[in-house]
C-alpha cells in the first residue's frame, strides 16, 4: 500500500495510531507525515517513530490520501477551516474526536467528502486497539475494506452504527483508563504484601492480559470464567466477596454511565 497517510495532531492518540501502523509494517514510515503546533511533539514522533513531520496542517492535507484528524474536538472547526480547500478530491478523512458526528464533520468541510469516524483506544501503540468504525454514505465497500486493513494493523475493529458511539466510548474508548487504575491498585496491594513495584505491576498486567484473551478466544461468558477460578472455601471467592461488598461492579457501571452521559453532552 503506497498511499500517504497524514496526521494532523501528534498527541497521544495520533502517536499511538501512527506508531501502531508503522510497527505493523503495513505502511512505510516514509509514507506517514505528522503536523502539530508543538515542536516537542513533532520531535518525539520523528525520533521514536521515524515518520516525517512538519508544522503545516495545509501541507499534510495537500499530501495525504488518507488523513487522520487527531486533534481535540474543540479544535475541529479551526483545523477544518484551515485545510478544507487543500484536501485531495478523493481523500478519505478519518475523524477520531468524541462528540464530532459524521454530519458535523461534513458540514464543517462544506462539501461532500469520504469520511470515516472511528473511536480507537490508546493500546493502538502496542497493536491491541479496539476501534469502532462508522463510515459515511460516500465511502464505498472497497474503500471501507482498505480503511479496515489499516485499522486492523494496530488492533481489532467493529463497524457499528453511529447511534451506538456513546456506549462504545464508555466500554472501549475510555476504558483503558479504568484498567490502568485497576492494575495500579493491584500493584499497590502486592507491594504492601512484599513484592517489589516492577514485578507487582508485571504480575497484575499479565493477569489482565491473559484474562482478556480467555474471554476473546474461548467465547465463554465472563461469569463462567470467573466461577472456574473460585474454588469452594478458597482464596479467590474471599476476594470476590470483598469486591462485591465494596461495589466493584457497581462502580464500573456507574463510571461507564457517567462517561456515556458526557459523550452525549459533547455531541449536542
Q: Give the contacts of 207 (CB within 8 A, at least 6 positions apart).
A: 186
pLDDT of residue 160: 96
pLDDT of residue 3: 86
pLDDT of residue 267: 80
Pairwise CA distance, residues 32 & 21, whole Å: 9
Pairwise CA distance, residues 104 & 118, whole Å: 14
Q: Which residues pair with 42 in a beta bridge?
A: none
- Fold classification of 173-266 is ProC C-terminal domain-like fold (1.10.3730)
CATH number of 5-160: 3.40.50.720
pLDDT profile of the chain (268 residues), mean per 10: 88 90 89 95 94 96 96 95 96 93 96 96 91 96 94 94 95 96 98 98 98 97 97 97 97 97 88
Pairwise CA distance, residues 254 & 258, whole Å: 6
pLDDT of residue 97: 87
Q: Give the contacts of 20 (CB within 8 A, at least 6 positions apart).
A: 124, 125, 126, 127, 129, 153, 154, 155
In the chain, count H helices and then E strands: 12, 8
With 0-12 CB in 10 A as exposed, 13-18 as middle and 19+ as buried, what is 228?
Answer: exposed
Torsion, Cα of 52, 54, 57, 61 (10° steps): -30
Backbone phi, then psi, for 219, in 5-degree steps? Answer: 75, 5
Q: Which residues pair with 117 in a beta bridge?
A: 95, 134
The grid cell for 192 is 504492601
Domain boundaries, the chain: 5-160, 173-266
Report how far Cα 32 is from the mean position of its chain's Cα atoms. 18
Pairwise CA distance, residues 200 & 252, whole Å: 23
Amino acid at each position: 500500500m503506497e498511499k500517504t497517510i497524514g496526521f494532523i495532531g501528534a498527541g497521544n492518540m495520533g502517536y499511538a495510531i501512527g506508531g501502531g501502523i508503522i510497527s505493523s509494517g503495513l505502511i512505510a514510515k516514509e509514507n506517514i507525515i505528522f503536523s502539530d503546533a508543538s515542536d516537542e511533539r513533532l520531535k518525539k514522533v520523528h525520533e521514536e517513530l521515524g515518520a516525517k513531520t512538519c508544522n503545516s496542517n495545509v501541507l499534510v492535507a495537500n499530501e495525504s490520501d488518507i488523513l487522520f484528524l487527531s486533534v481535540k474536538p474543540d479544535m475541529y472547526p479551526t483545523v477544518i477551516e484551515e485545510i478544507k480547500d487543500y484536501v485531495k478530491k478523493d481523500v478519505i478523512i478519518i475523524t477520531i474526536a468524541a462528540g464530532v458526528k459524521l454530519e458535523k464533520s461534513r458540514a464543517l468541510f462544506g462539501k461532500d467528502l469520504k469520511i470515516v469516524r472511528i473511536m480507537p483506544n490508546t493500546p493502538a501503540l502496542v497493536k491491541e486497539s479496539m476501534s469502532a468504525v462508522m463510515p459515511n454514505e460516500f465511502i464505498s465497500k472497497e474503500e471501507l475494506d482498505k480503511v479496515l486493513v489499516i485499522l486492523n494493523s494496530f488492533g481489532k475493529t467493529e463497524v457499528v452504527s453511529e447511534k451506538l458511539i456513546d456506549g462504545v466510548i464508555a466500554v472501549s474508548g475510555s476504558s483503558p483508563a479504568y484498567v490502568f487504575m485497576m492494575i495500579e491498585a493491584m500493584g499497590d496491594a502486592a507491594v504492601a504484601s512484599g513484592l517489589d513495584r516492577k514485578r507487582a505491576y508485571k504480575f497484575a498486567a499479565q493477569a489482565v492480559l491473559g484474562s482478556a484473551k480467555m474471554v476473546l478466544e474461548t467465547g465463554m461468558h465472563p461469569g463462567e470464567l470467573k466461577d472456574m477460578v473460585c474454588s469452594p472455601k478458597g482464596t479467590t471467592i474471599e476476594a470476590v466477596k470483598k469486591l462485591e461488598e465494596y461495589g466493584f461492579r457497581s462502580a464500573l457501571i456507574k463510571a461507564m454511565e457517567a462517561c456515556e452521559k458526557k459523550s452525549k453532552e459533547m455531541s449536542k
